[in-house]
Amino acid sequence: MSDSMSSLLPVVCFDAVGTLIHPVEPVADTYARAGRRHGFELSLEIVSRRFREAFEWEERRDRQGDLRTDEEREKARWRTIIGHVFHDQPDPLAPFEELWNHYARPEAWTCYPDAVRFLDWLRTTGGRYAIASNFDRRLQGIVRGLPPLADAWQVVISSEVGWRKPARKFFELLADRMGCRSAEMVYIGDSYENDFQPASALGMQAFLLNRGSSPSAPPFLASLDELSERLKMMGKCRHEGEALRSHAHDPSC
Ligand SMILES: [Mg+2]
């Protein structure tokens, strides 16, 4: 793609977990193993169910509040979740440090193959991308340690900017950080409530990723493999739009 074309590509922002990365092994396996080290014997089914329950409670609690956050709140979130998973064990928070440190390691995470392919393509265009995530500062080290993501232009993290998605403020700060108007940004995430709805509301071109669904029309993506074609089309439209505008302003017309 030519330089003039790549400059017409929009700025691309991604949600992190569920969009670009996922834990290498199922969360229940990691939690159950950490629990066993402290003599806790819980089935994977119980660990999995309790994790989902507590994760959802914490999400709801933030949405019922003002969505402000910081490092302390994010660490408290994981204390509550881990405390619930092991709530009937002698010392429910005994595995906390191990689990916190485990998910700080880049080796605990991996990129989805379609994310790697898309970012490889984006690099050939010279296009820039950002990661915008509800996470804590551990994500900075994870991104730096995962080669496919290490060249992310910006990593915008809720605990660092002080607001969680879906807060409008988070998306406004993201646009500020990218140095562009929200209408010039493309945002891709796997959550309707946390990603698609608030990004769209601010005027970003948002896509909702639902891997494995049958390919469908925008704003849905069944895979990030579809995204390069969508961006090429958007770049082409912008290119043609600018050509039309410059033609209209040509005094010789
Ligand atoms: Mg996600």
Question: CATH number of the domain that 151 lies in?
Answer: 3.40.50.1000
| Residue 253, domain member (yes or no) | no
Per the structure, the count of domains in the chain is 2
72 plus 193 within the same structural domain: no
**In this model, does residue 5 exceed pLDDT 50?**
no
How many whole angstroms from 222 Cα to the centroid of ligand 1?
15
50 plus 155 within the same structural domain: no
244 plus 183 within the same structural domain: yes
Q: What is the pLDDT of residues 128-154, one digit of tens each?
A: 899 999 999 999 999 999 999 999 999
226 plus 128 within the same structural domain: yes
CB atoms within 10 A of CB 179: 9
Full-model pTM: 0.89
How many whole angstroms from 19 Cα to the centroid of ligand 1?
6
Report the sign of the C-alpha dihedral through residues 29, 34, 35, 41, in that order: positive
From the list 83, 82, 46, 76, the residue with the least C-alpha distance to 61 is: 76
- Cβ atoms of residues 186 and 204 within 8 Å: yes
Residues surrounding ion ligand 1 at CB below 5 Å:
15, 17-18, 190
Q: Which amino acid is at 208?
A: L
Cβ neighbours of residue 127 under 8 Å, at least 6 residues apart?
Answer: 6, 9, 12, 231
Angle at which helices 44-64 and 27-36 cross, to 10°: 110
**In this model, does residue 253 exceed pLDDT 60?**
no
Q: Which structure tokens are listed for 70? A: 């910081």
Q: Tell me, what's the pLDDT at 1?
A: 42
- Name the DSSP class of 115: H
Residue 88 confidence class, pLDDT cut points 50, 70, 90? very high
209 plus 234 within the same structural domain: yes
**HSE-CB of 71 using CA atoms within 13 angstroms:** 5
Look-up of token digits 């017309």: 253
How many whole angstroms from 21 Cα to the centroid of ligand 1?
9
Residue 249 confidence class, pLDDT cut points 50, 70, 90? very low
Q: Tell me, what's the pLDDT at 218?
A: 73
Look-up of token digits 């998973």: 85
Q: Whole domain around residue 239: which residue ranges?
A: 3-20+112-248
pLDDT average, residue stretch 66-89: 98
Q: Where are the beta strands (DSSP E) in the chain?
A: 11-14, 21-23, 109-111, 129-133, 154-157, 185-189, 205-209, 220-221
151 plus 237 within the same structural domain: yes
34 plus 132 within the same structural domain: no
Q: What is the pLDDT of residues 50-76, one digit of tens each?
A: 999 999 999 999 999 999 999 999 999
- Whichever domain contains 34, its CATH number is 1.10.150.720
